Structure 1
Amino acid sequence: MKYNTIINQMTLAEKVSLMSGKDFWQSENIDRLGIPSMFLADGPHGIRKQAAAADHLGLNPSIPATCFPTAATVANSWDVNLINKMGQYLGIEAANQKVNVLLGPGINMKRNPLAGRNFEYFSEDPYLAGKLAASLIQGIQSKGIAASVKHFAVNNQEERRMAIDTIVDERTLREIYLTAFEIAIKEGKAKTVMSAYNKLNGTYANENPHLLNTILRNEWDYDGVVVTDWGGNNDRVAALKVGNELEMPTTNGETDQDIYQAIKSGELKEEVLDEAVDRLLELIMSTTSALKESNASVDEKKHHQLAQKIAEESIVLLKNEENILPLNNDVNVAVIGDFAREPRYQGAGSSVVNPTILENTLDSLAQSGIKSIGFEPGFNRYGKKSNRKIAKACALAEKAEVVLLYLGLDEVTEAEGLDRESIKIPQNQIDLLNEIYQVNQNIVVILSSGAVVEMPWIDKVKGLLHGQLSGQAGAKAILRILTGEVNPSGKLAESYPIRYEDTPSYHQFPGKEVSVEYREGLFIGYRYYDTANVAVRFPFGYGLSYTTFEYSDLEVDRAGATFTITNTGNLPGMEAAQLYVGCQSRAIFRPKKELKGFVKVSLQPGESKTVTIPFDDKTFRYFNVKTNQWEIEEADYEIMIGSSSVDIQLSGVLFVEGTGAPLPYDQTDIPSYYSGQVSNVGLEEFETLLGRKVPDAKWDRTKPLGYNDTIAQCQYAKGLFARFAYQLIKFSHWFLRKIGKRSTANLIMMSVYHMPFRGLARMTGGIMNMPMVDGVLMIVNGQFYKGLKHVLRERKQMIKAAKVNN
């Protein structure tokens, strides 16, 4: 161990104290040994260091920082170099604010378009997400700051996220849900990993030996620190045994005592604690040293300009009928839509950034050269249809040659802690579009959202520019693309289905009670749509340009694929070329094609470049559940070069020698997986794939409620008071939504409704402890007076103990 000398000087109590937070955002310090506190801050797309009251939901403002585009947006750039630069700037700002650990990036897969945190994740594809995350991490950590890749692992829904049991087969787990983490950790060298809230196949992620020991520590040789998500600790001793070093936030020493007593009783070896302390000290000392040596100063203008460039490369042109874009300088334009006045530029929850500068469309129009004849909001951002606003918008649209219509999702629709209710944009916005179409059919929609939306209205627009959530400089970036000052080069990092019902996890999302079953297996996103021949609105990897590109001269060998791209249009442009691989054997089921490489190329008109996309250790592998390791199937593989997952420009065939592993499946037992038709797999077939029975997905309503049951389960509690409290919570949520207080209503669902009872102690910073939670559970389970007495007695004892210790 590196820090033996310091560890040998520490008392057991001191070593234990380092295992949990000092407060909401800081780790514990030991002054007599020169061990300082670390500051951990949210920041996947900008630093969120709170100056005053701390919270994990984005309620209180933070110190101003550059708000870069969100992960869902920057993924559309397909540009690892640009994302590395963004990481460097994040590292500079973190160092400037004396932040040791930046809690990002988030790289969970976009299994379902309704998942409430999709705006904070890169892609439905693990290879793309992993490569982008690795580049971002390298950039952040080049400044001495530690990145924290999250949420490890299989955290793909927000509803009941602190209690849900994710049921997934081993091959799907490895190939889809862990590959991005593997790339981010091995190539990005992430110094910290944040464990997820949820269970994985029956065991909480932060105490899961298969996840944290077998895979993370042993197979990936990870020697960094694992930190819990905030309030994500269940059994502190079990978590420490498998290498979950740091629990956040503070529990006022309560879980420290759990570790202390476990060592005293022999349940936990002190050597395990020492190793955890050593890893944590390495993180503390290395980042603190970097912060001391850093003289990082933030050039706000320069950082803002990078945010704009990233937005420009990430915005996707989805439709350009009759070449309505770019706009001519002499065209009279009507600007309509509330998002033009107040941009929707980031998500909600723990990643909310207080921007240093915030541009909006209306203030930037004159500078852009667009001839605007006026602006109308057209719809209520958080409300019902307004005929008056629609009429005024239509009157303006009627006078214009082109309508720029700003539509999208509002801030409370996409938020941490909540999944979306549908993938439609609000009906009042669609009503506005329909009415404008009656008076002016030259409509260009500028869409703002962090996740997939349905577009049944698309035939009524000639242009569609998807800004996603483009950060503090997004408004100007969009205008520069509309005018042609910038040629769009963004390509979708996720598929856009025609209807939500077309998605493979439609029948299995979200898990509502005990568990959620990943019956679709490997087939998420384009892996499903392309294999099952399901039409989509826009495919993975799709995006238009104002110029055209030609692919030619493909050469394939065991090292990789080489080909030529030519800009055959009249404008400079960038093209994200994509390498897909499809195994031509049918002995083992696989998606029709999988992304295994990509490159973004910048070309002048008429210019050609020859590029090579190399193969790597992930190009031909699959996880064999019989040998319990990665194998290669001996077969011919189709090597495809495309401008999207469905627009394959070049292809060749390469024979690859295999590893000779036995076949892992009997095709007759799991026919749905061999056909790719997995949208409604039966229980028996899923259990065959899984190799075991699945747990009962329903709550056992006969048992008393316990620590890991949620407040929502008070609906069937034995205690009358608990059932009344549940109805009060439900009514409060309904009433707040009714009167337009949707953010407050969301907060009830995020911080109360789906909270496990243990969260009353884990998330309150020591205001409550677990003995007090025991009293609450007595009340919930029908012993009101006994439970109330217990709560009051334990509260009194806790206050008395705190006075003695102080």
Structure 2
Amino acid sequence: MLKPLFKKTPFIFICTMMLVISAKAQEKNSSVAIEAKIEKIMATLTLEEKVAMCHAQSKFSSPGLEKLGIPELWMSDGPHGVRGEINWDDWGYAKWTNDSITAFPALTCLASTFNPKLAKDYGISIGEEARYRKKDVLLGPGVNMYRTPLNGRNFEYMGEDPFLASKMVVPYIQGVQQNGVAACVKHYALNNQELWRGHINVEVSDRALHEIYLPAFKAAVEEGKVWSLMGAYNQFRGQHTTHNQILMNSILKKDWAFDGVVISDWGSAHDTKQAALNGLDIEMGTGTDGLTTSTKNAYDSYYLANPFLKMLKSGEIKEEVLNDKVRRILLLMFRTNMNPNRPLGRINNQEHLDVARKIAGEGIVLLKNEASFFPINPNKKMTIAVIGENATKSMTIGGGSSELKALHEISPLEGLKERYQNATLIHAMGYASGPSAYDRVIPSKLDANQLKKEAIEAASKADLVLFFGGLNKNHLQDCEGVDRKEYQLPFGQDELLTELLKVNSNIGVVLVSGNAVEMPWITNVKAVMQTWYLGSEAGNAIADVISGDVNPSGKLPFSFPKKLSDNAAHSFGELSYPGDKVTQYYKEDILVGYRWHDTKKIKPLFAFGEGMSYTTFELSKLDSDKKVYSKDEAITISGTVSNKGNLDGAEVVQVYIGKLNSKVSRAEKELKSFQKVPVKKGENGTFKISIDTNSLSFYDETISNWNLEKGDYMIYIGNSSSNISKKIKISIQ
């Protein structure tokens, strides 16, 4: 049988296949060997030693096994960089001099690139920095869905679409873990607001749960093979999500066959028996008053500590429950701190800064560009008024647990000064937010009227104005622990813009935020650019795009509603968001983000997937390989992307599909694939996209499983959810 195979098959292909088979065999042998080692270790452990492994010993570590030379597990906050070193017993910084890192762009920016390759580069780079800092678990990435623009933690997540988040999270995880550092995908699940996050009970349909809120977690587990997962603070159907029977046991560990470790969010465990029986493996952060100031909050009094040990000894909880946790923890250790082959890591090197800058540049989204306001020629002699606190404010500090101690951070003003050396730049703050505090707002001591007066004077003298506005990472802004209170811009920015427009109509707005904001001034300004929180290279990346050195190609990962009531969650009133302090109901069900805007015909201010370029693209020759498909068959979409302008650029082809005459309520269309296509000026590029027909299934609550409807579907091909170039009708038989 081998002779014909060799005659017809290229030798290199056979060699490749043999290598793949060999690698899989080695992987299987390695897995078997590790399992044997784990069982050998298990046989030596006392009940007390096993329980000790299931809870923290400090703010960011859990115990190893000293008698066997097994090191403790060290964790660090992420997901945009490795957090500065925290004290053993409290939230104070240890004041090390060697824990500064590269700050990478926030995950909203990464999602905006629509570029999975950059997600892999991001993961590799941050994984190298975590490894260098001797961290075993990086607490990130986050993939909770963007449900409301008021959520203070949206900047840490990947937008409103589960398909986009799924495609971006998998390579991030793979990149981190190739360094022998565990990614810890979070916050599982339904942690879609910060207000009352510690107790709010979420009521949502099974269908919305599986179609909207779980897919990115599922992809992280089944495709990304993530080694750890963090439970969330909130409740789901009356049980806290960190030890929730449905989420942890039925879905995560049974249906998805997750073999990793479930780690509590800090202080998200609430009950010993539920924590033991409903899937929690390591409990962290219970009690946040310093942890050693009282017996109640000492580590041995955690739910999975002495109370757990007592229940095990009494027989109320079986030892096999504990053993499953310890086996998982030991497997995590063999993957990380007991892996002899993991690399040493690197930190603050030029390659990491280049990756951060590349992601930032590709993630910036151009939303409006009247009369080609952008790009601004850096060689032209002119006067530019740079107005706004966000032009100089550090955005790596603050925001909660994702705050960073960056080795350096280039501000937007610094980046512009470096690039526009032929121009005269005048900076005026215009507004001020006051110093940052985790749990309160501290008013600015600066005179707001004087700041406004100085900004108006600067604008009146300038050829053009760059207004750096948006949000920041202070309390009640883009910050963990509590949500925004309003949709409009804070600190009087809307009023300031109105005054500036009276003295200079040549204004471009550069928004720095992780959330959508209201824009009552949108028709009066020349341009709007959404720049997110961009990390160490923020100013350089912004200058790259403003100057035209980088052609913007970012696309919005979430919709910008014109007003808050146009958002699905808010349209149903307070019981839908934020709830009644006890329970909230996701009344919009599956119609989140663009699904709501499209289906209800409510035009957003800016649509999901929207983003302009300095060149002009045209999609043509768009078609599917056929018009009738069967189950398990791939739908192939192909076409041409033509660059009609004078600059090289990249367009994101987006493919949405909707069921016609569905037997159940469905969104008009849903993103099912995308591809970023670089095309040089004056040239054509092609794309080919494959979509599994099974991905068109809906979650059928009558059978508690996925169901692919027969019948007609419409394919929508375009460059945003609101800009469709062609519709193609197909049928699935």
TM class by shorter chain equals 0.7 to 0.9
> Are 1:387 and 2:449 matched, yes or no?
yes
Alignment partner of 2:385 out of 334, 344, 350 = 334
How much is the aligned-residue C-alpha RMSD, in angstroms? 1.9
Query: What is the alpha-carbon distance in structure 2 between the residues aligned to residue 57 and residue 500 of structure 1?
Result: 37
Contact 1:57–1:416 under 8 Å retained in 2 = no
State the 1:484 CA deviation. Answer: 0.8
Residue in 2 that maps onto 1:376: 428
Distance 1:299 1:165, change over 3 A: closer
Residue in 2 that maps onto 1:517: 585
Residue in 2 that maps onto 1:8: 43
Q: Determine helix, strand or coil for the equivalent of 1:545.
A: coil
Query: What is the alpha-carbon distance in structure 2 between the residues aligned to residue 165 and residue 45 of structure 1?
Result: 29
Matched residue type, 1:380: A
Residue in 2 that maps onto 1:540: 608
Contact 1:345–1:448 under 8 Å retained in 2 = no
> Are 1:34 and 2:110 matched, yes or no?
no
> Are 1:130 and 2:181 matched, yes or no?
no
**Residue segments in structure 2 that go unaligned for 5+ positions in a row:** 1-34, 287-297, 435-443, 626-633
Which of 61-70 and 396-405 deviates more? 61-70
Superposed, 1:191-590 pairs within 5 Å as 191-249=227-285, 251-254=298-301, 255=303, 256-290=305-339, 293-328=342-377, 329-330=379-380, 331-344=382-395, 348-369=399-420, 371-382=423-434, 383=444, 386-412=448-474, 413-506=477-570, 507=573, 508-557=576-625, 558-590=634-666
Deviations 1:230-263 (A, max 9, x none): 1111122322223211111375212322222222
Query: What is the alpha-carbon distance in structure 2 between the residues aligned to residue 492 and residue 60 of structure 1?
Result: 38
**Residue segments in structure 1 that go unaligned for 5+ positions in a row:** 658-806
Deviations 1:549-568 (A, max 9, x none): 11111221443211211111
Query: What is the alpha-carbon distance in structure 2 between the residues aligned to residue 30 and residue 593 of structure 1?
Result: 53
Alignment partner of 1:629 out of 699, 705, 710 = 705
Query: What is the alpha-carbon distance in structure 1 between the residues aligned to residue 672 and residue 188 of structure 2?
Result: 22
Alignment partner of 1:602 out of 674, 678, 689 = 678
Superposed, 1:723-802 pairs within 5 Å as none
Residue in 2 that maps onto 1:717: none
Q: Determine helix, strand or coil for the equivalent of 2:523.
A: helix
Contact 2:85–2:94 under 8 Å retained in 1 = no
Superposed, 1:171-210 pairs within 5 Å as 171-210=207-246
Q: Determine helix, strand or coil for the equivalent of 2:61.
A: coil
Residue in 1 that maps onto 2:180: 144
Residue in 1 that maps onto 2:631: none
Which of 605-614 and 277-286 deviates more? 605-614
Q: Determine helix, strand or coil for the equivalent of 2:225.
A: coil
Residue in 2 that maps onto 1:734: none
Distance 1:293 1:188, change over 3 A: closer
Residue in 2 that maps onto 1:785: none
Matched residue type, 1:439: V
Matched residue type, 1:608: N
Which of 44-53 and 600-609 deviates more? 44-53
State the 1:352 CA deviation. Answer: 0.4
Contact 1:77–1:314 under 8 Å retained in 2 = yes
Distance 1:283 1:175, change over 3 A: same
Query: What is the alpha-carbon distance in structure 2 between the residues aligned to residue 146 and residue 369 of structure 1?
Result: 42
Deviations 1:105-136 (A, max 9, x none): 01000111111111111111111111111111
Distance 1:234 1:542, change over 3 A: same
Residue in 2 that maps onto 1:91: 127
Deviations 1:428-448 (A, max 9, x none): 222221111111100011111
State the 1:366 CA deviation. Answer: 3.7
> Are 1:645 and 2:721 matched, yes or no?
yes
Distance 1:303 1:30, change over 3 A: same
State the 1:224 CA deviation. Answer: 0.9
Q: Determine helix, strand or coil for the equivalent of 2:675.
A: strand
State the 1:395 CA deviation. Answer: 2.0
Distance 1:223 1:57, change over 3 A: farther
State the 1:586 CA deviation. Answer: 3.0
Contact 1:336–1:403 under 8 Å retained in 2 = yes
**Structure with the larger helix share:** 1
Q: Determine helix, strand or coil for the equivalent of 2:82.
A: coil
Query: What is the alpha-carbon distance in structure 1 between the residues aligned to residue 675 and residue 346 of structure 2?
Result: 32
State the 1:616 CA deviation. Answer: 3.1
Contact 1:95–1:296 under 8 Å retained in 2 = yes
Contact 1:492–1:543 under 8 Å retained in 2 = yes
Residue in 2 that maps onto 1:767: none
Query: What is the alpha-carbon distance in structure 1 between the residues aligned to residue 340 and residue 157 of structure 2?
Result: 28
Deviations 1:552-587 (A, max 9, x none): 112214432112111111100011111101001231
State the 1:618 CA deviation. Answer: 5.6
Distance 1:443 1:18, change over 3 A: same
State the 1:653 CA deviation. Answer: 1.6
Deviations 1:513-548 (A, max 9, x none): 211111110011100011000011000000010001
Query: What is the alpha-carbon distance in structure 2 between the residues aligned to residue 427 and residue 145 of structure 1?
Result: 41
Residue in 2 that maps onto 1:20: 55
When normalised by structure 1's length, the TM-score is: 0.79
Query: What is the alpha-carbon distance in structure 2 between the residues aligned to residue 176 and residue 346 of structure 1?
Result: 31
Deviations 1:562-621 (A, max 9, x none): 121111111000111111010012311100010111111111012222212211366211
Q: Determine helix, strand or coil for the equivalent of 2:515.
A: coil
Contact 1:335–1:372 under 8 Å retained in 2 = no
Q: Determine helix, strand or coil for the equivalent of 2:129.
A: helix
Query: What is the alpha-carbon distance in structure 2 between the residues aligned to residue 423 and residue 150 of structure 1?
Result: 26
Matched residue type, 1:406: F
Q: Determine helix, strand or coil for the equivalent of 2:367.
A: strand
Q: Determine helix, strand or coil for the equivalent of 2:528.
A: strand
State the 1:60 CA deviation. Answer: 8.0
Q: Determine helix, strand or coil for the equivalent of 1:438.
A: helix
Which of 61-70 and 561-570 deviates more? 61-70
Contact 1:58–1:350 under 8 Å retained in 2 = no
Residue in 2 that maps onto 1:67: 103
Matched residue type, 2:414: D
State the 1:346 CA deviation. Answer: 6.4
Deviations 1:732-767 (A, max 9, x none): xxxxxxxxxxxxxxxxxxxxxxxxxxxxxxxxxxxx
State the 1:630 CA deviation. Answer: 0.7
Contact 2:111–2:165 under 8 Å retained in 1 = yes
Deviations 1:69-115 (A, max 9, x none): 11112111111101110100011001100000000001000111111
Distance 1:40 1:603, change over 3 A: same
Residue in 2 that maps onto 1:752: none
State the 1:290 CA deviation. Answer: 3.9
Deviations 1:488-527 (A, max 9, x none): 1111000000001111111121124211111110011100
**Percent identical:** 38
Contact 2:101–2:348 under 8 Å retained in 1 = no
Contact 1:551–1:563 under 8 Å retained in 2 = yes
Q: How many aligned positions are there?
A: 657
